[in-house]
Amino acid sequence: MPTEIKIPAVGESITEVTIAKWLKKDGEAVKRDEVIAELESDKATFELPAEADGNLKILVAEGETIGIGTAIAQLDGAGAPASNGQAALAATGGDALTQGEQNPAASDQAGYGGQPADRPDSSPATPGAPAAAPAAPAAATVEMKIPAVGESITEVTVAKWLKPDGAQVSRDEVIAELESDKATFELPAEGSGTLRHAVQEGDTISIGAVIARIEGGSGAPAAAPAASAPAAATSAPAASPAAASGASTYATGVPSPAAGKILGEKGINAAEVNGTGRDGRITKEDAQNAQARPAAPAPAAAPAAKPATSSPQPAAGERGQRRERMSNLRKTVARRLVSVKNETAMLTTFNEVNMQPIMDLRNKFKDKFKEKNGVGLGFMSFFTKAVCVALKEWPAVNAYIDGDSIVYSDFCDISIAVSAPKGLVVPVIRNAEKLSFDGVEKEVVRLAGLARENKLTIEQMTGGTFTITNGGIFGSMMSTPIINAPQSAILGMHNIIQRPVAENGQVVIRPMMYLALSYDHRIIDGRESVSFLVRVKELLEDPTRLLLGV
């Protein structure tokens, strides 16, 4: 019996994940605990290991967003040729898998309500069992219901029917797109036969409701009188070569959901593609490598078209577009930033810092510092230590609003904004006020490395009390950073520019940096915000204060 691989619980607040990447191909043999896929939530990326040995059968395509507990793959026992038939029965409502392991004909009868097999020679004709299995449910109708797609999702909308009413569909062929308030899902067919719509495009229906019915198999004359003759005519040629090879199953020539989508975009019929997956299934790679066959008329038109298209071709190439689905991380960042702008009284105050004292100190001791501590002396440790001192003196900047209360923290968990490959993440330096300069630098290097490798955990990105972001590394001269909710303030660093400034009545050139403090005016008054930023400026322009604690 196939082993189902379901999405495990990966955190209290996470109800759905996206399949970022399949690391193993459909039909490939995998070992227990071998990583087969990468899952992406709105907070972190996770690896999914195989739960047993067997051949992988992918049920959900790359890029799909699905709920916790949903089955995304199956593992069929290695060397078990009947497992495909059993999987087909399991998906179409058959509940006699144990009988099917012993006798394929018995599984046909039990899986479809005990209908007679009408095959007196079914028991000795074992080699023909896979090809004969689809003919058993000739008069059967498979009801397709809306599957559970997430804990908090109770209804979906039929965004688009990809197959018209009355069309012939194959098992696992995508027939519709469903849309919830959180994501869009593809609906694959649960059997082969004639598709009958039960709802219209644009209708909103509940989870578990019937959306369509698949009537009979390809050789069922009574299932659809109007379409029976064409169905039989089109299915007979497809069945004859499969029967001749003696190796056909329900998966032969059927594209996976991802492959079907690619073929549809290319306008290529699945019958024109040779499947290299298990049992002849068309994989995603097959679809990507497939070329449309109607290339014969192209040579005739090519000589006349070449002179006309040779000159405008470069101009056409300059106007390309591409569409990519937003990742869960990007959706969450967008939602949170809009929420902060709408729900807080956010203001920004500015100041500038003369970075010459810090730069002189770094140039004097950076080699000895790295030799002793194994990490470089950067600007982030100075800013983090200065912020921790200022937060102790102005605790409202380190607080946050919880309902009708203000929560003050007597510790400094400093969040550091890091630009990771998949988007902005904000890991937290815990108890930064207790760390030395080298301790802060080591934590910054460690957390930034985890962020760039997409290995940060949820715990490492939650619970900060204040955030520092450095847009200066990208060349930003001035900005108004947005608060990292539920925190009440964020400090923005910017690039260092040599500018003329006045010192002791003289105009001199100094490396200057603009600082920006965005804060929630509901909890932090102007006096506190300006005084906090001035205190940070004093500590940075005279870093010996940090060492002496004055």
Could you give the residue numbers annotated as active site? 521, 525
Asked whether the beta carbons of 447 and 33 are under 8 A apart, the reply is no
Q: What are the tokens at 39?
A: 């899952």
CA 267 to the chain's CA centroid: 26
Run of H or E including 244 = helix 228-245
Angle (nearest 5°) at CA 321 between 320 and 325? 155
Q: Whose CA is closest to 33, among 5, 11, 64, 68? A: 5
Asked whether the beta carbons of 96 and 114 are under 8 A apart, the reply is no
Q: Which residues contact 525 (CB under 8 A, 6 or more apart)?
A: 396
Asked whether the beta carbons of 8 and 37 are under 8 A apart, the reply is no
Instruction: Give the Cα separation of 237 and 156 in Å (integer).
Output: 38
DSSP assignment string, 71-107: EEEEEEPTT-TTHHHHHHHHHHT---HHHHHH-HHHH
Instruction: Give the Cα separation of 478 and 472 in Å (integer).
Output: 8
Question: What's the DSSP call for residue 255?
Answer: B
Question: What's the DSSP call for residue 126?
Answer: -
What are the C-alpha distances in Å from 436 to residues 289, 412, 467, 538?
A: 56, 14, 19, 19
Q: What are phi and psi of 418, to 5 degrees?
A: -130, 135
Asked whether the beta carbons of 440 and 432 are under 8 A apart, the reply is yes
Instruction: Give the Cα separation of 15 and 466 in Å (integer).
Output: 27
Residue with tokens 């890029």: 63
Q: What are the tokens at 510?
A: 């100094």
Phi/psi region, residue 388 (left: phi>0; alpha: psi -120 to 50; beta: rest), is alpha
Q: What are the tokens at 455?
A: 């290995």
Q: Whose CA is closest to 194, among 144, 130, 269, 124? A: 144
Residue with tokens 């450095």: 470
Instruction: Give the Cα separation of 16 and 182 in Å (integer).
Output: 9
What is the pairing mode between strands 184-188 and 210-215?
unpaired
DSSP assignment string, 315-383: HHHTT-----PPPHHHHHHHHHHHHHHHHS-EEEEEEEEE-HHHHHHHHHHHHHHHHHHSS---HHHHH
Amino acid at residue number 145: K
Q: Whose CA is closest to 425, among 460, 451, 459? A: 451
3-state secondary structure 271-291: HHCCCCCHHHCECHHHHHHCC
